[in-house]
Amino acid sequence: MAIPRKFKTEECLRDLTLALAGPTRSLNAYDLLFALLTPREREEIALRWQLVQLLAEGLSQRAIAGQLGISLCKITRGARELKSGPPGFRQAVFAALRRHHPSKNR
């Protein structure tokens, strides 16, 4: 009996999460992403990460669209995830903001 595709996807995502969370040095995680993703995928993930950080800083969606040259649709998805997405996602975004702006109390 074949395993449903959705299950395989979920299993792979969980495994990738462990791989990303497991390295004790950020260089290992960077190397993992660099090897796993195509240049275009790396650009896309970096852009999405940047836009959610700008949203978390309080910039408007229109300001972000102008600054990054992307559509409001892409930003709206990031805003939705930041507002009601998984708690671990929000924690990661705000932890990154604290690292970049230690004087800001979040």
Asked if residues 104 and 81 have their Cβ atoms less than 8 Å apart, the reply is no
Give dist(CA 62, CA 28) in Å, integer.
Answer: 35
Q: Which amino acid is at 105?
A: N
Burial, 52: exposed, middle or buried (Cβ in 10 Å; 0-12, 13-18, 19+)?
Answer: buried
Measured between alpha carbons, how far is 103 from 41 in angstroms, rounded to an integer? 32
80, 89 in Cβ contact below 8 A?
no
Q: How far apart are CA 100 and CA 45, in angstroms?
A: 18
Query: pLDDT tens for residues 62-103?
Result: 999 999 999 999 899 999 999 999 998 898 888 888 887 877
The pLDDT assigned to 25 comes to 60
What is the mean pLDDT of the segment spanning 2-17? 59
